[in-house]
């Protein structure tokens, strides 16, 4: 899949937080590496009454805020700004679309141009935007559309969003972003598992005791409280990011890496997740909501204070246990947890192996720890393998835990591209391997929905946990009950 010669990259919601904070800096950084098609234009669409000059000034300011000064080069900034255009229109109003149509048409080699439509707006507008694009004749077989999360808030609404977009674009033209899949360490998980031979023989229920996946944030909901309160941690993080990480840990080796085979294997994992019956939800899930506390030595308010009202039953923390019911993983628990206002910001996968079956070193009984592979997704990407070794010196065997470290920063000594940089390039090239297919999204909702339903029925609200902690005590108890503990994160 090659980068096209010409491309028009249209961002619906081009003045929003996502566009200014993530998408335009990512496009700038790829332009910095000379990776954008030479005459690529970036067209922002929103209601704001910007002309091109005003929009370019806004983007310049945003690049200064969100790009490392070491990567800001005036000639590249100028080149990126010269690619930018702004079209003012209201998506819900049929008027104004001719302005966009006129701009799209106004270029040489219109027929050869790959048109990308990035929907950086609320999903309720996805269907309307796609229908208007079709009406103005701006959808051809090589056009692509990118959908941001959340794709629905349950299975029915996810299907409705997928159908409204699917009426205009074929599945092969639809790119559903889960930015976790664009992270270097997440892609490296596939390479580590399948381009080496030492792990694969151990990667199953004979040798793996359990798997832990944590996505911890130290921030609260900030000014996204309105959206967050209608979603909660299960919808915002577990149904998409954590399940995608679980899929990459648990999937079978695909025959090769292409647009469908990796996604076929991930789908099989989602379909093999143990169904969450009401009894299992009551027993194997914990939800919490942050109270006031301290993060990094600073006092921070409660969720209710951040939201500006009491009485919300939205969870800002989830811990749960699940299983992948197939030959490879039968009986191996997968523990997932995520939360806001936790004691640190860290995303990490820990694969904990079984302990040696026999303690043969005299005096060292109970000293050997289980081998663990920590895969640090953020903030400091890397991998760490925890082993037990002999402490040097005479006088018998003194066993000590040590770790073999692969820090990306040290090993490669270069800036790691942001996930959006990789993913936006893949969209332009038409490579959907790292994007979620419709059946994956819907299988993930089908698994998550019974949890949401059971929680809705429950009279018990989420448990309080102090901001700056590891979540409610019940999350620790979920593992202690099985004779396990959450691993100290390496990050």
List, by residue number, the catalytic residues.
Answer: 241
Residue with Cβ nearer ligand NAP (13 or 432): 13
Residue with Cβ nearer ligand NAP (46 or 378): 46
347 binds ligand NAP (CB under 6 A): no
Of 69, 87, 52, 65, give the one whose Cα is nearest residue 20. Answer: 65
244 binds ligand NAP (CB under 6 A): no
The span from the CA of 353 to the CA of 321, in Å, is 17
Total site size for ligand NAP, rule CB under 6 A: 21
Instruction: State the DSSP string of 168-230.
Output: TS-GGGEEE--GGGGSHHHHHHHHHHHS-SSSGGGSSTTTEEEEEEEEE-SS--GGGHHHHHH
Q: Find out whether 338 and 318 touch, Cβ atoms under 8 Å.
A: yes
Q: Find out whether 241 and 186 touch, Cβ atoms under 8 Å.
A: no
13 binds ligand NAP (CB under 6 A): yes
Among residues 3, 18, 385, 463, the one that binds ligand NAP under rule CB under 6 A:
18
Token output for 380: 């400091």
The span from the CA of 220 to the CA of 214, in Å, is 17
97 binds ligand NAP (CB under 6 A): no
- Min separation Cβ 418 and ligand NAP, Å: 12
Window 403-422: residues binding ligand NAP (CB under 6 A): none
Residue with Cβ nearer ligand NAP (50 or 203): 50
Contact region with ligand NAP (CB under 6 A), list: 8-16, 280-288, 360-368, 422-430: 8-16
- Min separation Cβ 93 and ligand NAP, Å: 8
Pairing relationship of beta strands 298-300 and 293-295 according to DSSP bridges = antiparallel
- Min separation Cβ 17 and ligand NAP, Å: 4
164 binds ligand NAP (CB under 6 A): no
Window 77-96: residues binding ligand NAP (CB under 6 A): 90-92
15 binds ligand NAP (CB under 6 A): yes
Q: Find out whether 187 and 435 touch, Cβ atoms under 8 Å.
A: no
178 binds ligand NAP (CB under 6 A): no
- Min separation Cβ 487 and ligand NAP, Å: 28
302 binds ligand NAP (CB under 6 A): no
Among residues 57, 61, 99, 122, the one that binds ligand NAP under rule CB under 6 A:
122
Window 22-61: residues binding ligand NAP (CB under 6 A): 46-48
Residue with Cβ nearer ligand NAP (152 or 382): 152
Window 203-242: residues binding ligand NAP (CB under 6 A): 227
120 binds ligand NAP (CB under 6 A): yes
Number of residue whose CB is nearest ligand NAP: 16
The span from the CA of 236 to the CA of 448, in Å, is 11
Residue with Cβ nearer ligand NAP (89 or 318): 89
Window 138-157: residues binding ligand NAP (CB under 6 A): 148-150
Residue with Cβ nearer ligand NAP (74 or 95): 95
- Min separation Cβ 154 and ligand NAP, Å: 16
**Dihedral of the alpha carbons of 101, 102, 108, 111, in degrees to the nearest 10:** 30
SS (H, E, C) 57-118: HHHHHHHHHHCCHHHCCHHHHHHHHHHEEEEECCCCCCCCHHHHHHHHHCCCCCCCCEEEEE
The span from the CA of 121 to the CA of 100, in Å, is 17
- Min separation Cβ 21 and ligand NAP, Å: 6
Residue with Cβ nearer ligand NAP (14 or 293): 14
Q: Which long-range contacts (CB under 8 A, 24 or more apart) does 29-33 make?
A: 29/67, 29/71, 29/417, 29/418, 29/421, 30/421, 30/424, 30/425, 31/76, 31/79, 31/80, 31/83, 32/71, 32/73, 32/76
Residue count (the chain): 491
- Min separation Cβ 200 and ligand NAP, Å: 34
Q: Find out whether 441 and 271 touch, Cβ atoms under 8 Å.
A: no
482 binds ligand NAP (CB under 6 A): no
Residue with Cβ nearer ligand NAP (147 or 251): 147
- Min separation Cβ 35 and ligand NAP, Å: 23
Residue with Cβ nearer ligand NAP (17 or 260): 17
Token output for 177: 């972003």
**Dihedral of the alpha carbons of 129, 133, 136, 138, in degrees to the nearest 10:** 160
The span from the CA of 380 to the CA of 55, in Å, is 34
Of 154, 133, 460, 26, give the one whose Cα is nearest residue 285. Answer: 460
Q: Is 234 helix (H, G, I), strand (E, B) or coil?
A: helix
Contact region with ligand NAP (CB under 6 A), list: 69-77, 116-124, 316-324, 400-408: 116-124
The span from the CA of 328 to the CA of 252, in Å, is 9
Among residues 29, 87, 121, 248, the one that binds ligand NAP under rule CB under 6 A:
121
Looking at residue 436, what DSSP letter applies?
Answer: B
- Min separation Cβ 16 and ligand NAP, Å: 2
Q: Find out whether 114 and 4 touch, Cβ atoms under 8 Å.
A: yes
Residues that bind ligand NAP (CB under 6 A): 13-19, 46-48, 90-92, 120-123, 148-150, 227
């Amino acid at each position: 899949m090659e980068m096209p010669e010409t491309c028009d990259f249209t961002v619906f919601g081009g003045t929003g937080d996502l566009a200014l904070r993530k998408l335009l800096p990512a496009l700038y950084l790829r332009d910095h590496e000379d990776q954008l098609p030479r005459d690529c234009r970036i067209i922002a669409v929103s209601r704001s009454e910007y002309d091109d000059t005003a929009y370019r000034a806004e983007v310049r300011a945003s690049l200064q805020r969100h790009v490392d000064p070491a990567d800001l080069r005036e000639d590249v900034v100028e080149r990126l700004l010269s690619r930018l255009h702004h079209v003012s229109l209201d998506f819900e109003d049929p008027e104004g679309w001719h302005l966009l149509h006129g701009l799209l048409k106004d270029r040489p080699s219109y027929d050869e141009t790959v048109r990308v439509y990035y929907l950086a707006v609320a999903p309720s507008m996805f269907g309307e935007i796609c229908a208007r694009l079709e009406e103005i004749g701006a959808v051809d077989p090589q056009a692509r559309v990118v959908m941001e999360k959340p794709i629905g808030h349950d299975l029915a609404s996810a299907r409705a969003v997928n159908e409204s977009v699917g009426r205009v674009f074929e599945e092969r033209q639809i790119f559903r972003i889960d930015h976790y899949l664009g992270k270097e360490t997440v892609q490296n998980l596939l390479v580590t598992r399948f381009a080496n031979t030492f792990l694969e023989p151990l990667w199953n229920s004979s040798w793996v005791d359990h798997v832990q996946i944590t996505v911890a944030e130290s921030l609260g909901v900030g000014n996204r409280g309105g959206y967050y309160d209608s979603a909660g941690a299960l919808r915002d993080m577990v149904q998409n990011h954590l399940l995608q990480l679980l899929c990459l840990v648990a999937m079978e080796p695909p025959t090769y890496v292409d647009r469908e085979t990796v996604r076929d294997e991930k789908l099989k994992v989602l379909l093999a997740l143990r169904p969450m019956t009401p009894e299992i939800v009551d027993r194997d899930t914990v939800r919490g909501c942050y109270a006031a506390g301290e993060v990094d030595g600073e006092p921070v308010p409660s969720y209710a204070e951040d939201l500006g009202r009491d009485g919300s039953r939205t969870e800002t923390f989830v811990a749960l246990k699940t299983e992948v019911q197939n030959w490879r993983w039968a009986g191996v628990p997968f523990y997932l947890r995520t939360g806001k206002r936790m004691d640190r910001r860290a995303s990490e996968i820990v694969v904990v192996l079984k302990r040696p079956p026999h303690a043969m070193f005299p005096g060292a009984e109970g000293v050997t720890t289980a081998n663990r592979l920590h895969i640090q997704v953020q903030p400091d990407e890397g991998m760490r393998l925890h082993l037990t070794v002999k402490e040097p010196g005479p006088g018998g065997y003194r066993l000590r835990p040590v770790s073999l470290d692969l820090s990306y920063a040290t090993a490669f000594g270069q800036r790691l591209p942001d996930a959006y940089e990789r993913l936006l390039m893949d969209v332009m090239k038409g490579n959907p391997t790292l994007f979620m297919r419709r059946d994956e999204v819907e299988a993930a909702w089908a698994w998550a929905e019974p949890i949401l339903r059971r929680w809705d029925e429950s009279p018990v609200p989420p448990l309080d946990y102090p901001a700056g902690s590891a979540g409610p005590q019940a999350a620790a108890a979920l593992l202690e009950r099985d004779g396990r503990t959450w691993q100290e994160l390496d990050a």
